[in-house]
């Protein structure tokens, strides 16, 4: 068993070198190492926190050292990041502990010259960033001269994202969005109305000592403001509910599935929207769930079984490729397309470090899926396009392009949901085939 800081260091380096996801690395390490609750909490905070604040931390390192940090070894860089993160963001850890524990780890991982550099930068941070009240400030570009730079470093998001959102939503709204992403995201449960109702489930959770509140956005949503280990919730195991953000539920409400209808859900895994559609249909009709990865289909089939849903069938399929025998076979089609995910930054820290070129080709892929999905809609049927991002190039511009190419569809409504209103950042457009 390793201590929390050592485990966090190795996890962060492993993610960097393999371009892996922190949640997968974290789950693997927690299962492998016998952490006590306190060590587990520290390990989790360090892995997620350093990942989330990488952009901010690297700017501090550059300003404090005056060096090109792209030339730093990965091992050295992560030791400095861990030390700075504890100094700046973890008030519960004394400065001496933040520095000494990193230096002890450095003795085992890097050479003496590198240890000198790490120590010098951490000491410089204490001298230049520590305020009179003991808290720390961030060095950031001047807001009046470089607003995008200021927001990028203050909230640890890519500059290109700040630029795109300021253009789309204005300066004030952009900062409101970024502030919302800096708050811990609550967990939202969706009540399985086939087995219970919201009042009964709220009572059951209260009896189990779980703080839960009714959602203000949906009639079958329950908010867990304190988060926690949801795997221990009996109602999840018994299929009385499943995890689903209110934004996704509102998207399914826009789809409007009814009893006896045929609904197609493209790019369906892990299946939450298929489940919500089947429940809205009172388990009467047909929900066909498609996903590119056959290995993930068990998420849908196992979930449906747990929830007591019998009308869902799952199939591996590339949603950019047409299936002619299914043309005009569905009353309603949901195209919840792969996207940049920038509406979920509070839940997925890795997304804050996405380079611009990694999302450049997404709009064309999304439009291709939407065009293909439209072939399955009956005349008079409904087509919904959705993403969990706030990028206009992936949202409104794609819908406009589709409607220009396909005058046989008309727009009924389009909605952008923002995190500062209490949901994930999300977009959906509801269209009808004429």
pLDDT digits (tens, 9 = 90+) for 25-55: 988 888 888 888 899 999 999 999 999 999 9
pLDDT at 228 over 70: no
User: Strands, E, within 126-258: which ranges?
Assistant: 187-191, 213-214, 221-224, 241-243
Beta-bridge partner residues of 289: 265, 314
pLDDT at 1 over 60: no
Cα dihedral 291, 297, 299, 305 in deg (nearest 10):
120
Q: For position 276, what pLDDT does the model report?
A: 98
Q: Which CATH superfamily is domain 248-433 in?
A: Vaccinia Virus protein VP39 (3.40.50.150)
Q: What is the 3-state secondary structure (H, E, C) of 157-173?
A: CCHHHHHHHHHHHCHHH
Residue 309 contacts by C-beta under 8 Å, 6 or more apart in sequence? 194, 275, 278, 279, 283
Mean pLDDT of the chain: 96
Nearest CA to 366 out of 393, 330, 332 is that of 393
Domain ranges of the chain: 4-129, 147-181, 187-243, 248-433
pLDDT mean over 309-317: 97
Q: How far is CA 117 from the centre of its chain?
A: 35
Answer for the pair 49, 5: CB distance below 8 angstroms, yes or no: no
Q: Sorting pLDDT into bands at 50, 70 and 90, what band is 379?
A: very high
The values of phi and psi at residue 88, to 5°, are -85, -40
pLDDT mean over 101-130: 96
Answer for the pair 125, 84: CB distance below 8 angstroms, yes or no: yes
Q: Give 59-91 pLDDT, tens digit per residue.
A: 999 999 999 999 999 999 999 999 999 999 999
Q: Which CATH class is domain 4-129?
A: mainly alpha
Q: Which CATH class is domain 187-243?
A: alpha beta
Residue 267 annotated among the catalytic residues of the structure: no
Among the options 148, 241, 335, 388, which is catalytic?
A: 388
Q: For position 319, what pLDDT does the model report?
A: 96
Cis amide prior to 233 (ω within 30 degrees): no
pLDDT mean over 1-23: 89
Map tokens 């025998």 to a residue.
325
Q: How far apart are CA 239 and CA 194, in angstroms?
A: 9
pLDDT mean over 208-215: 94
Q: How far apart are CA 224 and CA 203, in angstroms?
A: 13
pLDDT at 420 over 80: yes
The values of phi and psi at residue 389, to 5°, are -130, 165
Answer for the pair 419, 343: CB distance below 8 angstroms, yes or no: yes
């Amino acid at each position: 068993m390793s201590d929390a800081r050592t485990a966090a260091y190795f996890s962060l380096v492993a993610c960097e070198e393999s371009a892996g996801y922190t949640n997968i690395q974290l789950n693997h390490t927690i299962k492998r190492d016998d952490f006590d609750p306190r060590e587990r909490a520290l390990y989790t905070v360090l892995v997620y926190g350093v990942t989330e604040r990488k952009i901010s931390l690297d700017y501090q390192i550059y300003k404090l050292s005056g060096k090109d940090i792209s030339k730093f070894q990965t091992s050295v860089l992560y030791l400095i990041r861990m030390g700075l993160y504890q100094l700046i963001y973890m008030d519960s850890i004394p400065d001496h502990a933040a520095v000494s524990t990193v230096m002890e780890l450095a003795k085992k991982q890097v050479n003496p010259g590198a240890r000198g550099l790490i120590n010098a930068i951490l000491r410089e941070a204490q001298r230049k960033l520590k305020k009179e009240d003991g808290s720390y400030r961030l060095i950031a570009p001047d807001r009046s001269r470089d607003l995008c730079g200021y927001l990028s470093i203050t909230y640890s998001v890519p500059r290109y994202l700040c630029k795109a959102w300021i253009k789309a939503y204005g300066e004030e709204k952009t900062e409101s969005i970024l502030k919302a992403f800096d708050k811990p995201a609550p967990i939202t449960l969706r009540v399985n109305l086939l087995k219970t109702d919201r009042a009964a489930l709220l009572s059951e959770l209260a009896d189990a000592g779980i703080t839960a509140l009714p959602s203000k956005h949906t009639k079958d949503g329950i908010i867990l403001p304190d988060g926690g280990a949801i795997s221990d919730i009996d109602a999840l195991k018994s299929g009385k509910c499943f995890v689903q953000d209110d934004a996704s539920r509102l998207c399914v409400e826009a789809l409007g599935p009814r009893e006896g209808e045929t609904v197609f859900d493209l790019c369906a895994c892990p299946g939450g929207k298929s489940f919500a559609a089947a429940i809205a249909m009172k388990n009467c009709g047909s929900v066909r769930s498609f996903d590119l990865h056959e290995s993930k289909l068990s998420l849908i089939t196992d979930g449906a079984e747990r929830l007591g849903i019998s009308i869902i069938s799952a199939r591996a399929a590339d949603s950019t490729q047409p299936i002619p025998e299914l043309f005009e076979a569905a009353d309603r089609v949901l195209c919840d397309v792969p996207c940049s995910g920038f509406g979920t930054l509070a839940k997925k820290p890795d997304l804050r470090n996405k380079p611009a070129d990694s999302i450049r080709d997404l709009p064309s892929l999304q439009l291709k899926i939407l065009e293909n999905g439209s072939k399955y809609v009956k005349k008079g049927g409904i087509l919904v396009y959705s993403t969990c991002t706030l990028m206009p190039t992936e949202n409104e511009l794609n819908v406009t392009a589709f409607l220009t190419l396909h005058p046989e569809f008309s727009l009924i409504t389009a909605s952008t949901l923002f995190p500062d209103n209490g949901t994930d950042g999300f977009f959906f457009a509801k269209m009808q085939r004429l």
